[in-house]
Structure 1
């Protein structure tokens, strides 16, 4: 076929929508297959086990609401990670940023006396500021001292856990044996939607944020600049983008969104800040972002999948002899496959890249 015929061949616009879904779907399919083999090795029927898992997470209004509840914090942490990764920044500190946002929301929630119309927004702003401040340190160290933000974020996660634990067990501990802050005021509580679960207005906030950043990434100049930064920061710099400033801005937004995830837990689910309340939502957010291919709309779908798995795990344990940690095994397999695909693509791009000495030297100014 001639090149003219190739040029004249009709294009398929759906290909651009389907292609990003291939790797996540392959990862999920392989995880389901491997998980089925593990279930079979344990003497159970994989079809029955997966049927119970689906039924326990999606069938029936109470089960579905529990899935949405499990999904809610992952919307925030998954979006936070996706925003930073898309811009080429390795923010794996969403766990610590979420904890600090939750701590700030818990303090404002009980210590401030305001009407509901002011109290809830103020607590959300405090949570955003708490997560933002915890993400600002690795951002500044990356820009000023060229320190790897991945390492700094990894170190800040346990520091946030220990610091919040000290506050909730000593400085501001509520009376009683539980390590927690005093309960938030009713004026700071996010409205809940049902008696069957603790899904609350934070779920709606998370959905709105995902849609907003989908528009920002796909239809604004700022989103284009962040994409170019992620693809080639040196090209972005010579293209007129202020890369250091934008890197700090992206990390601040990422940390602030993770902090809002902490507010959803404190203001909506627990109605107080509890020490060590998170089972690892920040780290789950990394898996959600990878499965979503770092796209905000994909974050909603991936968070729903992980929420359904977590929601159905308790039903699975009650109705079979299998542990609910089988769900975590499935999630780990998905992450390993996605990480392997990402590493393979990265190494392939490094092999195809021309050596540094092959690049033409820039002309000298006279």
Structure 2
């Protein structure tokens, strides 16, 4: 019995994804399409086709960064719902560096990433400060800050940052020296390598450092942590700033590695997908990597599934939503057992 219980954190995400795909298959059948053919088209294109896999990795990059941000906040018992706004702020910071700073590429690229991280970190620190010092619920503040960030970027690309003669709201192209290098074979940009490196650093931080122990301790029991001499307030502000900074780097990679300019809709909802990915990962950095890949594959292969099998793209979004629903059911059942 204890053995089964210890395997539940590993099994729950797998069961949730399998259940979502099963219900998705029913929706595909209702649409009059063979679900095996539809899923074959989706995953063949997104995982086993060279250029399709490159597209999957490109989409995985912002999901990975933002999910890691949500994960580290969860480790400290904080809910960062503001990844979307932090992506927009990071994208804005990197765009400003790409447009208004002129330095060699070996300085320009790291500077653009750093400023993107910094903008996102400030946007994450604000709700962290309000929670730690003022006791304001971080779910509310991070959610509301999303709207401020999105509308701020919208205003800027429609007015002072708008490119000359642009048919729709977007900024001028950033300098070539601020653009992320492309991997050999035009597979994807180097942001994915940076994301994997950050994931490794975060794993070491959480598993093998005193700071990681403090973050975990605060998440498990802030009162006991305070008695043990850990500054709970400082830890909350730190993890929320780190969470925002990681999401900010997602925005940086979108601008510096993919779009090369700031668009009004720079993110298609990566910040909200990241919440589901972090919960599915059950506190595991490796789980974030695998689940980010799964969600990116769904997004990457959706259009191909529609073209080749005639399945609407909305089925993919339904599968994502069902995955979240099933993992929520699994969490509820686990808490009931305990």
TM-score, normalised by the number of residues in structure 2: 0.95
Distance in 2, Cα, partners of 1:19 & 1:208:
28
What is the alpha-carbon distance in structure 2 between the residues aligned to residue 124 and residue 44 of structure 1? 44
- Superposition deviation, residue 344 in structure 1: 4.2
Give the whole-Å Cα distance in 2 for the aligned partners of 1:213 and 1:20: 20
Is 2:127 the partner of 1:122?
A: no
Alignment partners' CA distance in 2, 1:123 and 1:43: 48
1:274 to 252, 255, 263: 263
- Other-structure match for 1:110: 99
Per-residue displacement from partner, 1:106-163 (whole Å, max 9, x unpaired)? 0111110000111111111110110011111111111121010000111110110000
Paired with 1:146 and 1:30, the residues of 2 have a C-alpha distance of 38
* 8 Å CA contact retained: 1:79, 1:210: yes
RMSD between aligned residues: 1.9
Q: Structure 2 matches for 1:242-261, cutoff 5 A?
A: 242-261=231-250
Query: Which residue, out of 164, 169, 180, partners 2:170?
Result: 180
Hey, which of these two has a bigger chunk of helix by percent? 2
Confirm or deny that 1:132 pairs with 2:115: no
Matched, 1:338 2:301: no
**Is the 1:107–1:181 contact (alpha carbons within 8 Å) kept by the matching residues of 2?**
no
- Cα separation, 2, equivalents of 1:139 and 1:348: 32
Residue 234 (structure 1) aligned with residue 223 (structure 2): yes
Q: When the two structures are aligned, how many residues end up with a matched partner?
A: 336
Q: For the residues of structure 1 that align with 2:296 and 2:137, how far apart are their CA atoms?
A: 31
Structure 1 segment 270-309 matched on structure 2, within 5 A: 270-309=259-298
Cα offset for 1:84? 0.3
Aligned to 1:141: 130
- Alignment check: 8 A CA contact 1:66 1:196 kept: no
Cα separation, 2, equivalents of 1:137 and 1:60: 43
In the TM superposition, what whole-angstrom CA distance separates every residue of 1:66-121 from its partner, at most 9, and x where no partner exists?
11111111011111101101110011101001100100100111110000111111
CA contact (8 A) 1:98 1:261 kept: yes
The answer for the alignment partner of 2:181 in structure 1 is 191
Render the CA deviation track for 1:229-286: whole Å, top value 9, x for unaligned.
1111111111221100011000011100100000000000001111112110100111
Query: 2:27–2:315: 8 Å Cα contact kept in structure 1?
Result: no
8 Å CA contact 1:136, 1:248 repeated in 2:
yes
1:359 equivalent in structure 2: none
**Retained in 1: the 8 A contact 2:169–2:263?**
yes
Question: What are the residue-to-residue correspondences of 1:320-335 with 2, within 5 Å?
Answer: 320-335=309-324
In 1, Cα distance between equivalents of 2:92 and 2:334: 39
**TM-score where L is the length of structure 1:** 0.88
Structure 2 matches for 1:46-195, cutoff 5 A?
A: 46-176=35-165, 177-193=167-183
Higher relative contact order, structure no. (Cα contacts within 8 Å, ≥ 6 residues apart): 2
State the shift of 1:346 in Å: 4.6
